[in-house]
Copies of this chain bind each other. A is one copy, B any other.
Amino acid sequence: MSYQLHQQLKKDTFKLGEFELCDVLLMNDARYPWVILVPKRDAISEIFQLSQTEQRQLQSESSFVAKAMKDLFSADKMNIAALGNMVEQLHLHHVARFRSDAAWPKPIWGQGQAENYSEVAVKAISSQLRRVLKQNLISDENLTF
């Protein structure tokens, strides 16, 4: 297995840690709380290419993240999506949405420009997220923040 996180995802995110199956990444866009799960498997671009066991694990990790984010941010709705038209490596978006946010009720992709976090803000949200995700985080190595 020679999994490596895609360069574009590496560039656009901060690593929060790792679950059993997935790298857990925070998108560097202060407009929306936005966590990306990337299965640590090589050459996979569609969910159905994972084994059945891995698909169940992805589902479980995804629901864990979605519920934790909805509770933490008191979101009105979670948006979950596997798109991958630009970055082929399978990655699953989890975006906390609010009736008051810039793109509501549209999806966020392709709407406006990403706004990078300040150093203070990324520290704050990373620490909040790590706290609520802690029970399933298995690694704190190589963290980008």
Measuring CB to CB, which residues of chain A are less than 8 angstroms from any residue of chain B? Answer: 45-48, 52, 55-56, 58-60, 62-64, 66-67, 70, 77-86, 88, 97, 104-107, 109-111
Contacts and interface: CB of A to CB of B under 8 A. Distances in A.
Contacts of A109: 106-107, 109
A118 to B, nearest CB: 28
A81 B78 contact: no
- Chief secondary structure at chain A's binding surface: mixed
Nearest to A106: B110
Contacts of A47: 59, 62-63, 66, 80
Contacts of A63: 47-48, 55
A97 B80 contact: no
Contacts of A82: 78-81
A81 B84 contact: no
15 contacts: A46-B78, A47-B80, A48-B63, A48-B64, A48-B66, A48-B67, A48-B70, A58-B59, A81-B81, A81-B107, A106-B110, A107-B107, A107-B110, A109-B109, A110-B110
Contacts of A85: 77, 79, 97, 104-107
